[in-house]
Amino acid sequence: METLVINIPDKKSALVKQILKGLGVTIKSETKDQLKPSEYATAINISKDDAKKMLHDISESRNEWERDI
């Protein structure tokens, strides 16, 4: 069996999941690494704005790292 990760826009998520399930695809829930800012803020007990900034900083850092390799 093969594992494939697909990022789906929130507005299309329900439709895409419905189609994939119809094709027999097993859909797993998001991992802790893919939390939304509000979920992340709740998990580590900080404000939503601080969580958004932290996730943005992490994303920017990764982008810089990927450019350098």
Q: Crossing angle for the helix pair 48-68 and 37-44, nearest 10 degrees?
A: 110
Closest among 22, 56, 19, 16 to 36, alpha carbons compared? 56
17-21, 36-40, 48-52, 58-62: least confidently modelled range: 36-40
pTM attached to this predicted model: 0.38
Length of the chain: 69
Using the predicted structure, report yes or no on whether residue 31 has a pLDDT greater than 70. no
